[in-house]
Amino acid sequence: MDLLTNVLPTFARFLNATIMIKGLFNILLFYFLGEVCSLFINGFIPGSVIGMILLFLSLYFKLVKPEYVRDAATVITKNMAVFFIPPAVGLMAYAEYISQSIWTISLAIIVSTVFTLVVVAVVQDSFEKRRAKK
């Protein structure tokens, strides 16, 4: 049973060696389309975000098969933290500038992050509670 439901489909996916290429192709294609759209609105919304919305809509309206994107998208999104390493190391280049106004920066970031967390969670939570009551 387990062999049929789990092992075999996984094995079949490995046989489909181009699945990663298909995934990357689709993701990059939507990224490109997003960048093109972004150009028309003067970069008001970044291309990657427009690409995300376009990819979602295409999946929703069945223009793109989910299997084509699944593997590549899962690998990329589960490992997003790695992509932040180069910019995070960039902190070192601005260490002096940041240390000059370290208190302002820390206070602003801490207060604002706490506010954002609380406001978003409380608003969403109260919507859900109100619906549950109905």
Partner 1 sequence: MNEQLIEQLKQLLSGEVFLLCLVFGTFLFGVYLYKRLRFSLLQPLLISVVIIIPFLKITGIEYTTFYEQTKVLNFMLGPSVVALGYVLYEQIEYIKGNVLSMLTAVFAGSIVGIASVVLIAKAFGADKALVASLAPKSVTTPIAISIAENTGGIPELAVAFVVICGLFGGLIGPILLRAIGIKSKIAKGLAIGSASHALGTTRAMEMGALEGAISGLAIGIMGIMTALIIPFVDKFFL
Contact characters 66-105, partner 1, x per CB under 8 A: x--xx-xxx-xxx-xxxxxxxxxxxxxxx--xx--x-xxx
Please state, in angstroms and rounded to a whole number, the distance separating the CA atoms of residues 34 and 52.
8
Give whichever of 8 and 108 is closer to partner 1, judged by the CB atom.
108
Does 19 participate in binding partner 1 (rule CB under 8 A)?
A: no
- Give me the least distance between CB of 33 and partner 1, in Å please: 10
Q: How many angstroms from the chain centroid is the CA of residue 110?
A: 23
The number of C-alpha atoms within 13 Å of 48 and in the hemisphere containing its C-beta is: 0
Please state, in angstroms and rounded to a whole number, the distance separating the CA atoms of residues 113 and 118.
9
Only one of the segments 1-9, 10-18, 50-58 lies at the binding site for partner 1 (rule: CB under 8 A); that segment is 50-58
- Give me the least distance between CB of 50 and partner 1, in Å please: 9
Give whichever of 3 and 131 is closer to partner 1, judged by the CB atom.
131
Size of residue set near partner 1 by CB under 8 A: 72
